[in-house]
């Protein structure tokens, strides 16, 4: 069964919120881990993708994302880093508009 978009959005927004609420060294470590996961998402999905592609990647084994985050910062909270990276990358989706998806004209 595919991962639900609404569930993913909620988790991603929570990760983004947790990062925003962090400070000092914790925030620096989280930002490093988020950047690593974000770059791995870019390699895996490229620049042209829709939110469903991102949700599909999130609903599968996230071992690659954990490895990327841990490699960048062994002490960062993996869940927060991964969720925040997905939240940031979602903003690049072709069907993304202000925090929600919208129908694409070319679909």
pLDDT digits (tens, 9 = 90+) for 74-85: 999 999 999 999
Average the pLDDT over 88-97 and give the result: 89
Q: Give the pLDDT confidence of 28-50 residue by residue, as tens digits.
A: 999 999 999 999 999 999 989 99
Counting DSSP H helices and E strands in the chain, the numbers are 5, 2
Task: Identify the sign of the CA torsion 35, 7, 26, 96.
Answer: positive
**96-97 and 100-101 strand pairing:** antiparallel
Cα distance between residue 7 and residue 66, in whole Å:
20
Q: State residue 97's pLDDT score.
A: 67
- Predicted model pTM: 0.87
Average of per-residue pLDDT values in the chain? 90
Average the pLDDT over 78-101 and give the result: 87
Q: State residue 102's pLDDT score.
A: 47
């Amino acid at each position: 069964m595919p991962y639900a978009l609404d569930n993913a959005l909620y988790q991603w927004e929570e990760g983004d919120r947790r990062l925003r609420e962090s400070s000092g060294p914790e925030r620096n470590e989280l930002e490093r881990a988020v950047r690593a996961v974000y770059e791995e998402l870019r390699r895996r999905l490229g620049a042209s993708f829709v939110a469903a592609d991102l949700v599909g990647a999130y609903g599968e084994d996230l071992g690659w994302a954990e490895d990327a985050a841990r490699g960048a910062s062994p002490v960062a909270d993996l869940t927060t880093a991964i969720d925040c990276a997905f939240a940031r990358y979602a903003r690049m989706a072709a069907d993304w508009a202000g925090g929600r998806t919208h129908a694409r004209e070319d679909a």
